[in-house]
Structure formats: structure tokens, C-alpha cells
Amino acid sequence: MSERTTVPITTLLADVRACRHCAEHLPHEPRPVLQLHPSARILIAAQAPGRKVHESGVPFDDASGDRLRDWLGVTRAQFHDPTCFAILPMGFCYPGQARSGDRPPRPECAPRWRAPLLQALTQLQLTLVIGRYALAHHLPDESDGLTAAVRQGQRHQPALMPLPHPSPTNNRWLARNRWFEQDLVPRLRARVADILRHS
């Protein structure tokens, strides 16, 4: 996809929104859900849209989003301002339901789209790496699992910070790891507020 690096961002986004690359594997018509502007300061590298987000077409328009916005200490308006937050899940289309929870992000999506989209984000100061699929892509050398990665906090420059998925299906993890909301979330809020203040 290197030929896409010179494509204007509006054309690239139009190409993504028209994508049917893995349509045969989806249980519905493709509906890529993402948010991107080259001025974005914070990237949310997430998993894949759920059913409610698939229906609305608005990223994190669900209970996961409510919890994530609370962790970040931002309003809906701030969260959906693409000059503040870019939102790129590992799979842009809802992958459908599994026996328990949703299916994983389609594996075709990141190799096809991620590199040129990330290349457009030249102002990033923080990447929030949410869940194990984004962790495997953005921090491939992390071998001790998601909990250890989250506990370690921010690393690298520009900064990457692994987070657990904010889904209600993750309530048990949050109950077992109370240090996350007690210690790490206040630091995350302070970091986000600092970045947005200077945007």
C-alpha cells in the first residue's frame, strides 16, 4: 500500500469508507467506522466496532465509549472532535457475534489500511493501545500479556499507553485489577488534559 502514502487524506478516507475487501467474511454489508484528521493529538487504537456502533456509524457510541470517556476525563464533544482524537480500530467493520462476545477484528483490515492512515497522523503525542489485538500490532514485543503491559504504563516516544478494553464484558478484569482505575486512570486523565490544553 506504499503507493497510498501520497494520496490526499480525503481520498484515502473515501477509499476506506467504500472498502469491501473482506465483505465475504462479514455478516452484514461493510460499514467502516473510524475517525481521523491529520491534526489529531491522541490516537485511540481500538479493537472493532460493536453492533450498536455498526448501527449508528459513530465510534464508541456505546457503553464502552461511556467508560472510555470517563477514563479519559473528556466530554462526548471533545471525544468526537477529530482534531483532538483519531479513532482507528484494528478492524473498521463490525465483525459479528461469537458464542461469547463479538468476533475478533477482521485480520485483513490492518494490513490493508493501517500504515497509510497512521502516516497521516503527524501530530500525535499519545497512542492509547486498547485491548490485545491493538497491543499485538502496536507493541509486538510485549510478551507478558495485556495486564502486565497496562501495569507498566506509558512507554516510547511518541508515547504509547496500553489500556484494557472498556467494555462491560471486561468488568471482571477491572474488579481484579483495581489499581488500574485507582492509580493509572488519574494519570491518564492528567496526560490527556495536558495534551488537549496545548492543542
| φ, ψ for residue 25, nearest 5 deg | -100, 0
Report the C-alpha gap between 121 and 124 in whole angstroms: 6
Cβ distance to ligand SF4 smaller for residue 92 or 180: 92
Contact between 19 and ligand SF4 (CB under 6 A)?
yes
Whether cis (ω within 30° of 0) applies to the bond prior to 158 is yes
Please report which helix (H) or strand (E) contains residue 43, including its range.
strand 42-46
In the complex, the smallest distance separating the C-beta of residue 94 from ligand SF4, rounded to whole angstroms, is: 9
Contact between 49 and ligand SF4 (CB under 6 A)?
no
Contact between 80 and ligand SF4 (CB under 6 A)?
no
Among 93, 149, 184, 188, binds ligand SF4 (CB under 6 A): 93
Contact between 36 and ligand SF4 (CB under 6 A)?
no
Q: Is 102 helix (H, G, I), strand (E, B) or coil?
A: strand
Contact between 111 and ligand SF4 (CB under 6 A)?
no
Among 43, 88, 109, 134, binds ligand SF4 (CB under 6 A): 109
Q: Is 116 helix (H, G, I), strand (E, B) or coil?
A: helix
Cβ distance to ligand SF4 smaller for residue 22 or 136: 22
Among 1, 7, 9, 22, binds ligand SF4 (CB under 6 A): 22
For helices 109-120 and 9-17, what crossing angle results, to 10°?
Answer: 160
